[in-house]
Structure 1
Amino acid sequence: MARKTKLEAEATREQLLDAAEEMFYQHGVSRTTLEKIACAAGLTRGAIYWHFENKSALFSAMLERIRLPFQQMLSELDEQPQGDPLAQLRDHLIRSLLLIANSERLHRVLSIIFHRCEYMDELNPAVSKQEELDRAAMAVISRALQRAKVQGLLQDNIDPELTACAIHAYLGGLIRKHLLQPDCCDLTKAAAFVDVMLQGIKKPV
C-alpha cells in the first residue's frame, strides 16, 4: 500500500507540473495563478501546497524536468579528454539543438523561459538556478575550446573563455528565433548552423 501511495503522489506531482507548464505557456507566468493551475490539473490548491511551497518552487521543478538531458550531455563533453575536442563540441551542440527541435515539451518550456516569463521577484531562485546552469555550460564549452587550442585546432587569436560566451549567446539566439519563427530558423538543420559558427574559429588546414 505504501508503494502505491508513493506512486500516486508522484503521479499527482507530474500532473501538477503538466498543468503548470500548459498554463504558463498559454497565459504567461505572471498571469498564471496557483488557482488556475489547480483547476487545469483537476485538483485543489491544497494538492499544490502538498508538493510545492509556492509558484516559484513549481516553476523551478518544471525547469528541472528539461535540464537533465542537457546536463548529461555537458558531463559527457567534459569527460572526453582524448580525441578531437572540436568534433566533440560540434556533436554536443548539434545534439542539443536537435533535442529542442524534436521535443514538444522543450518547445513549450523554452518558450515560457524566453517569451512568457517576466522574471518576477518571486521567481528569483529559479532564475538564479538557470543563470548558474548557463555559467556551467559556458565553462564546459570553454574547457573543450582550451583543449582544442592546446592541440592547435583554433586560430591563434581565439580566446576560449570569450568564445564560449559567444557560442552560448549564438545558440540562445538560434533557439529564440526558432521558438518564434520555426520555419525561418529550423533547428533540424542544426549541423549547418553549428558548422557556420565553428568555421570562424577553426585554424585553416
Structure 2
Amino acid sequence: MRRTKEDAAETARQILQAAESLFLEKGYEKVSLEEIAVAVGVTRGAIHWHFKNKQGLLLAIRDRGKEPYRKLAAELSNNTAVSVLTKINDIVSELFERLENDPRQRGLIRCMMRLDISLTESDGICGATFRRELHQTFIQIFSAVEEEVRLTAPWHAESAASVFSATIVGLLSDWALEHSTVRLSPDGQALVKMILSGLISETCCQKNSRPED
C-alpha cells in the first residue's frame, strides 16, 4: 500500500521524538541510529530518508525550537502590540521553565552549540543561518509592534531584535555550560520580561489594554 504524506510526516515525527528522548537519556554521542530505528520500529534507511544522519536529527530538534516564534510571526495581523509582546514572553518563559526542570537538556544544548560551530567553520553558512533566521523572525515580530506603537527610545525593530536574540542565546549558553549561577527560571524569565516591558511605554500599554466601551 502506498504511503501518504501524512504517514510519512507521522513517521518523521515519531523518529524525531524517539531520537530526542534517547539523546536526553543517554547523551547524543552514545546513541546510534540503530537504537533510534528499533525504538520507533522502522529501518535505519527510514531515518536516512527523513533526516540523512544523526546530525540531521539534531538539526531538526534544534530548528523545532524556532517554530513557536515563526507561528507568532505568521499570526501578527491578529494581535495587538501588547499581546504580541505578552506571547513572546509566554513562549520564552515556558521554554526556560521546561529546561530548568530538566537538567538533561544541558547536554543536548551543548551538542547543538558544538554542531553550530562545526557547521559554521566547515562552510560558513549553516551555523550562522539558524541564528540569522531566528533574528530575522524577531525583526519581523518587532517591526509589527513598531507599526502599531512607537518603541521606547532608543529602540527600533532591528536593535530590539538584536538585543533580544543576544539575551536569549546568552542565557541559554551560560545555563548549558554552567558558567553562572543565573537560573533560567525565575532569573532569566524576569530579565526577559523586563526587556520586553521596556520596549513600549506604559501609556501605550494602557491604551492597548483598555476595554472597549
Match of 1:171 among 136, 149, 168: 168
Measured against aligned partners, the alpha-carbon deviations of 1:42-100 in whole angstroms (never above 9, x if no partner) come to 544233234332234333333454443331112223x35x85x3x23421322212442
Alpha-carbon distance, 1:172 to partner: 2.9
Structure 1 pair 187–129 and aligned structure 2 pair: CA distance change class (3 A): farther
- Determine the structure 1 residue equivalent to 2:211: none
Letter in 2 for 1:68: E
Give the distance between the partners of 2:23 and 2:74, measured in 1 at CA. 30
Alpha-carbon distance, 1:177 to partner: 5.7
1:162 has 2:170 as partner: no
Structure 1 pair 136–28 and aligned structure 2 pair: CA distance change class (3 A): farther
- Determine the structure 2 residue equivalent to 1:114: 109
TM superposition score normalised by structure 1: 0.65
SS at match of 1:171: helix
Task: Kindly indicate whether the alpha-carbon contact (under 8 Å) linking 1:25 and 1:116 is maintained by their aligned counterparts in 2.
Answer: no
- Determine the structure 2 residue equivalent to 1:143: 143
Structure 1 pair 116–13 and aligned structure 2 pair: CA distance change class (3 A): same
1:185 has 2:180 as partner: no
1:197 has 2:195 as partner: yes
Alpha-carbon distance, 1:127 to partner: 3.6
Task: Kindly indicate whether the alpha-carbon contact (under 8 Å) linking 2:135 and 2:161 is maintained by their aligned counterparts in 1.
Answer: no
- Determine the structure 2 residue equivalent to 1:100: 95
Give the distance between the partners of 1:9 and 1:50, measured in 2 at CA. 10
Paired residues for 1:69-88 under 5 Å: 69-77=68-76, 79=77, 83=80, 85=81, 87-88=82-83
SS at match of 1:186: helix
Task: Kindly indicate whether the alpha-carbon contact (under 8 Å) linking 2:175 and 2:183 is maintained by their aligned counterparts in 1.
Answer: yes
For structure 1, the residue ranges without an aligned partner over 5 or more in a row are: none
Structure 1 pair 198–114 and aligned structure 2 pair: CA distance change class (3 A): same
SS at match of 2:75: helix
1:58 has 2:57 as partner: yes
1:23 has 2:22 as partner: yes
Task: Kindly indicate whether the alpha-carbon contact (under 8 Å) linking 2:37 and 2:44 is maintained by their aligned counterparts in 1.
Answer: yes
Q: Give the alignment's Cα RMSD to 1 decimal.
A: 4.2
Structure 1 pair 130–187 and aligned structure 2 pair: CA distance change class (3 A): farther
